[in-house]
A = this chain, B = another copy of it.
Amino acid sequence: MKVAVNVHLKKGVLDPQGKAVLHALETLGFKNVKEVRVGKQIIIDIDTQDREKAIKEAEEMAKELLANPVIENYEIEVKE
């Protein structure tokens, strides 16, 4: 079962990469972009068919390794 862990900087934490992408998009002519945030998407293939178990395990992985709780939020998304 494939699970995505999406990790983003918390609101209020400066995201210079997002700002850079926003400016690059404006330069390219995309005028109606209000904000850009750049984060990570980690796709984990877990050897189980149990959806709940996969989500629980991905959550533990996010807490222990993938996200820094001081500055980052994460969300779990089942892909297949």
Contact = CB atoms under 8 A, between A and B. Distances in A.
Given A21-B66, A24-B65, A64-B28, A40 B43 contact: no
Contacts of A4: 6
Contacts of A33: 44-47
Interface residues of A, number: 32
Nearest to A66: B21
A14 interface: no
Given A21-B66, A40-B40, 20 more contacts: A8-B43, A18-B42, A21-B65, A24-B65, A25-B61, A25-B65, A28-B61, A30-B57, A30-B61, A32-B46, A33-B46, A34-B45, A36-B42, A36-B43, A36-B45, A38-B41, A39-B40, A39-B42, A39-B43, A41-B41
